[in-house]
Structure formats: C-alpha cells, structure tokens
Amino acid sequence: MPEAARTQVEHPAHAAPAGFIRKYIFSLDHKVIGTQYFFLALFSVFVGIILSVLMRFHLVWPQAAIPGLGALAPTGAAGGVMTPEFYLSLMTIHGTIMVFFVLTTAPQGGFGNYFLPIQIGAADMAFPVLNMLSFWITFVGLIVLLAAFVVSGGAPLSGWTAYPPLSAIGQIAGPGQGTGQTLWILSIALFTVASVLGALNFIVTTIDLRAPGMSMMRLPLTVWAWFITAILGLLAFSVLLAAGILLLLDRMAGTSFFIPAGLVVNDQMLLNHQGGSPLLWQHLFWFFGHPEVYIAILPGMGAVSQILSTFARKPIFGYRAMVYALMGIGFLGFMVWGHHMFMSGMSPYSALVFSVMTMAIGVPSAIKTFNWIGTLWGGNIQFTTAMLFAIGFVSLFVTGGLSGLFLAQPSVDIYFHDTYFVVGHFHMIMGVAAIFGIFAATYFWFPKMYGRMMNEGWGKLHFWITFVGVYAIFTPMHLLGVVGSPRRYSQFTEYDFLKPLAGVHEFITIAAFITATAQVVFLFNLFYSIWKGRKAEINPWHCTTLEWTVPSPPPHDNFGGRPPTVYHGAYEYSVPDAKADYLMQTDAARLPALKH
C-alpha cells in the first residue's frame, strides 16, 4: 500500500498494571514477557552447559566418580559414576534444552519480543494476552522436560531427534524410554504450541502495527529477521506438533504411524503394531528440524547486522540484498531437510535434489557474509563488547558454514554422517554462532533494558576467553570426524581406532571446562550491572533505530501514546554534512542523493 495512505492500525491499548503479579508475573507488556523469555533461556543455557560439562567429563574419564552426582542421580550415577544410559539422557536433554529453550527462546522470544514492537514504533504486540500465554506455555514445557530426570527410568536416551522405533516402543527399548520419553514429547508439544502462537503474534505485529513512515524496506534488519523467523516457526513447528502427536499415539493408543510389523526387541516380539514407517518420523522431524536451524540463527544475523553497522558507523552494505538473502534462506530452508537423511534408506535419487538445494542455500548465506565484511570495509570501527561478539559471530558463521559444504554432498556424507564432524559443524554454526548473536544482543541492548551499562572490561574478558574457547572445543571435533569417530557414544573404550583419540578428547574437555567456567564472568557482569551498573544515556551507542528514542527502560506503552514518524531507513551512519555521524530514523533531515 502507498506509504502516504498507510495509517497505523488502532492498537488495543492496555493500561499499565498496578499489582505485582500483573506487572511482573502474568504481565501483558511485551517488554516484561521478553525479559521473562530471556531469563528462562538464561536458566536453560546454564542447565545445558552443566549437562555438557558432565558429558565431557564422562567421555574422558568414564570410570571416575563425580563428587555429589551420586546423591543427585542415585540410579543414573550411583556413587557418582555415570551409566551409559545416564550419559545418553544428559545428551538428550542437553540437545533439547539448547535447541528449544535457548536458541529458539532467547533470540526470538526474548529480544524479538522486547524490541520488535519498539523498533517498528508500536505500543505493544498485536495480541498481548496470546503473548503472555506463549511464555507461560513455554515455561510449563521446560518444567515438564526437566521432570523427565526425576521420573522412574530417568530422562529419555533417544537424542533430541527422538528417532522411532527407539522413541516409540517404550521402556523395552531402554531406561528413560518409558515415562521419560513421554514427558519429552509432551514438553515439545507444549513448546511448539507456544511457538506457533508466538509466531502468529510476531507476523501480525510486523504487518499491522508499524508506525507511519515505517515501510517494509525501512525496517531494521533485526525486524526482518524476527519476521521471517516467525514465518518459519509458524510453518515448521506446526509440523513438529503433528509429528509429536502421532508419536504419542503410537506410544499410548496403540497406533502404528512409525512402528512397522515384526519388531523383536530384547527377544520379545511386539505383536500390536504393523504398517508404520520409521522414516516418516525422520521426514516430519527434519521438515521442522532444518528450518529450526535458521530459526536459531536468523535473529542472530539480524542483531549482528544492526551491531556491525552501528559500531562501524557505516550504513549496512547492501540492505536490500540482506533482506532478499534472509527471504532466500527462509524459503530454501524448507527444501533441504533430506540432507539429514542421506544414509537413512530414503530414495538415493532424492538425495541429489536435497544436495543441490543445500548447496544453493549456501549462496544467500555467503551473500550475508560478504555484506558484513563490506559493512566493516571503510568503516570507523568501535570495539565495544557487543561489536566483538558480532565480529566473532561472522568468523564462526564462516567456519561453521563451510564445514556444511562437506556434509551437503551425499558422497562425502557417506563417511561423515553421524560422526563428530557433524557435531563440530552444527555446534559451530547453530550453537556458538547463534550464542554469539545472543551475547552481542545482550551487551548491545542491556542499556536500553535496564537503563544501566554493562561493564566493558569484564565483557571483553568474557569475549576473549569464549572466542578462543569455542574454537578450541569445536575445531578438534571436526578432526575426530575426519578420523571417523561416531557421535553419541558414551565412551570410546570399545574400538581400536578410537583409542588413539583420547588425547584430543582430553583437550576438548579441558577447553570446555575453562570456557564454561568463564561464563560466570558474564553472569556476574549481568546481575551486577542490573543494580550497580553505570547509568546509561537514552542512546549510548549513537544508534539510529526507534528504541533509542525512548527512555531506558522504555515506559509501559513505549512511546507515551504518540507513535513516532519515520523518515528513512535504519542505518544512516556517517551521512555527509549531517550534524552528527548518525541520523535517527525519526530525524526529518534529508539524505544526500545516493551514489554507489
């Protein structure tokens, strides 16, 4: 619609709540909900890190006792020594909690919720009640997931991908496959419902509640990323929800969606199932699972674009190309799920198509990388902690992306599939690159959220240790994969070819201990700065987007009932002849004629 004719849709305003419970617990304010998501993810990430440290310990010293663990897990780790099934349950919950409750939750539910409405000049999300429900359903999902540790049999051991029949036939397949697996499915079902509701909210808000003048092509790239992530979430999580319900029916109602006839498990024949297909789950799961990778990384790309431009004091290089690349990644993201299944027994002909599509998705990813470097090129780079993490993100994204080129080719994947090469690859890109996006966003937006600055010295210390640390952890995993080490082994004692790799595993474990411990610096900085940090100005980074026009923290309805008017795009830095080296989106000053 023509920009002049666009008026902001009337927003169902809700008054600022007075009571503690309505203000902080069951709040309708997108900023409170965003903060709730952020802290839920923060709690989850530390649970996930602790689980991974325990796993790394067991991989290197499988017979050693961990003090205190015996008391926490009397069956899984009697006397502090883990059983193989306990290791696998740690692995399952680590993967699940990191993918869903951290990488999906913090960038989208957390920062997206907090800043999308402000960045487009809206008073709140389109559906505040739905927003509150999304968070609380996610919260219940997390509790249900963690409850799996304390039920009989413990947490499931089938990994975050939960392939049937292992995940479908119950306790007979192993401890944790009974109640624990059921709780896992319920948790994921709750999470998907919450995510679909959240996605609808993001989409409607972006389309309907933009301030006058905020055309789509003037949106900050953060908003574009949250918007496209929401579309991916809507389409992908619905499919996972359906798959989860089918799996639950196979377990509880005797259906056979994923269970074929004639299964003999542990010398017992399963008589009540026939006609199901284990591969059906894999198709449904990865139809969700691959877009999920982009759900985790796109918001990070958005935040990193914003931060690179801000601290290079330079407009983003190729704004339109960046938007089209986001769209391209989102679109192609739905056509590549089969690359997880080259060895699964699916038709080898389809592997060709999935493989070509996977290489194709590398193209928009490469465009983004070129444009980030192009943004820095000719800039006036300010090395804040947020900027360091953003640059670290680009480096990790390049590294993690390139190892994907090996796995995208079926012929090479014959060797690498399900080895540590894959573990190194996806941790590098959707794990730590996405986490670097979250850290960058945290250091960047903290002053707006709390009206105080985080400590830059501690922030930089945190960055240096973490940046070196993650490379030290995940680069050697690629080498393990080159040697052929399979993943998801609870110990490496049974194979002659794995024994010489013990030194590499020890190195990784030590690097993981150090890197995990260094995160305490971040925690301390975060909580100390919330109460004791130096007071922040309204716009400490001299940034152009709308959230920097309102007080810190922003008031309940963001703009005091007077939506801002937007005059130009989001990244007008170092405009020639301007009075400052940045031009707010609300500044009516004219831009010079563009020339390249």
What tokens appear for 55 in the block?
A: 């796993």
If the CB atoms of residues 63 and 411 are measured against another protein, the closer one turns out to be 411
If the CB atoms of residues 245 and 366 are measured against another protein, the closer one turns out to be 366
Distance CA 564, CA 426 (A): 41
If the CB atoms of residues 72 and 352 are measured against another protein, the closer one turns out to be 352
Distance CA 69, CA 41 (A): 24
If the CB atoms of residues 334 and 370 are measured against another protein, the closer one turns out to be 370
If the CB atoms of residues 107 and 154 are measured against another protein, the closer one turns out to be 154
DSSP secondary structure letter of residue 145: H
Q: Rounded to the nearest whole angstrom, what is the least distance from the CB of residue 399 to another protein in the complex?
A: 7
DSSP secondary structure letter of residue 535: B
Q: Rounded to the nearest whole angstrom, what is the least distance from the CB of residue 576 to another protein in the complex?
A: 6
Q: Rounded to the nearest whole angstrom, what is the least distance from the CB of residue 258 to another protein in the complex?
A: 10
Q: Rounded to the nearest whole angstrom, what is the least distance from the CB of residue 337 to another protein in the complex?
A: 16
If the CB atoms of residues 129 and 414 are measured against another protein, the closer one turns out to be 414
Q: Cβ distance 233 to 195 under 8 Å? A: yes
Taking each helix axis from N to C terminus, what angle separates 502-532 and 456-483, rounded to the nearest 10 degrees?
A: 160
What tokens appear for 480 in the block?
A: 């393990």
C-alpha distances in Å from residue 161, one per residue of 94, 186, 281, 295, 464: 12, 14, 9, 16, 33
Q: Rounded to the nearest whole angstrom, what is the least distance from the CB of residue 298 to another protein in the complex?
A: 19
Q: Rounded to the nearest whole angstrom, what is the least distance from the CB of residue 524 to another protein in the complex?
A: 23
C-alpha distances in Å from residue 522, one per residue of 49, 194, 440, 466, 541: 14, 29, 12, 10, 20
If the CB atoms of residues 189 and 394 are measured against another protein, the closer one turns out to be 394
With vertex at residue 189, the alpha carbon angle to CA 183 and CA 191, rounded to the nearest 5 degrees, is 105
383: CB partners within 8 A, 6+ apart:
311
Helix (H) or strand (E) holding 216: none
For residues 297-315, one letter each, b for 16 or more C-beta atoms within 10 angstroms of the residue's C-beta and e for the rest, the string is: bbbbbbbbbbbbbbbbebb
Q: Rounded to the nearest whole angstrom, what is the least distance from the CB of residue 461 to another protein in the complex?
A: 12
What tokens appear for 583 in the block?
A: 């031009």
If the CB atoms of residues 237 and 467 are measured against another protein, the closer one turns out to be 467
DSSP-assigned letters across all residues of 163-176: -TTTTTSGGGG-TT
Distance CA 243, CA 245 (A): 5
Q: Rounded to the nearest whole angstrom, what is the least distance from the CB of residue 492 to another protein in the complex?
A: 7
Residue in the block written with tokens 């690097």: 511
Q: Rounded to the nearest whole angstrom, what is the least distance from the CB of residue 587 to another protein in the complex?
A: 15
Q: Rounded to the nearest whole angstrom, what is the least distance from the CB of residue 390 to another protein in the complex?
A: 11
Single-letter amino acid, residue 40 = L
Distance CA 511, CA 515 (A): 6
If the CB atoms of residues 205 and 371 are measured against another protein, the closer one turns out to be 371
Peptide bond into 576 cis (omega under 30): no
Q: Rounded to the nearest whole angstrom, what is the least distance from the CB of residue 137 to another protein in the complex?
A: 29
If the CB atoms of residues 39 and 324 are measured against another protein, the closer one turns out to be 324
Q: Rounded to the nearest whole angstrom, what is the least distance from the CB of residue 217 to another protein in the complex?
A: 12
Parallel, antiparallel or unpaired: strands 268-269 and 264-265: antiparallel
If the CB atoms of residues 261 and 502 are measured against another protein, the closer one turns out to be 261
Helix (H) or strand (E) holding 572: none
Distance CA 440, CA 304 (A): 7
Residue in the block written with tokens 């989106």: 585
Q: Rounded to the nearest whole angstrom, what is the least distance from the CB of residue 233 to another protein in the complex?
A: 27
What tokens appear for 528 in the block?
A: 């100390």
Q: Rounded to the nearest whole angstrom, what is the least distance from the CB of residue 518 to another protein in the complex?
A: 16
DSSP secondary structure letter of residue 552: S
Distance CA 75, CA 56 (A): 20
If the CB atoms of residues 223 and 351 are measured against another protein, the closer one turns out to be 351
For residues 480-508, one letter each, b for 16 or more C-beta atoms within 10 angstroms of the residue's C-beta and e for the rest, the string is: bbeeebebebbbbeeeeebeebeebbeeb
If the CB atoms of residues 244 and 276 are measured against another protein, the closer one turns out to be 276
If the CB atoms of residues 35 and 96 are measured against another protein, the closer one turns out to be 96
β-bridge partners, 573: 582
**Residue 313 φ/ψ region, left for φ over 0, alpha for ψ in the -120 to 50 degree band, beta for the rest:** left
If the CB atoms of residues 336 and 449 are measured against another protein, the closer one turns out to be 336
**Residue 59 φ/ψ region, left for φ over 0, alpha for ψ in the -120 to 50 degree band, beta for the rest:** alpha
Q: Rounded to the nearest whole angstrom, what is the least distance from the CB of residue 91 to another protein in the complex?
A: 9
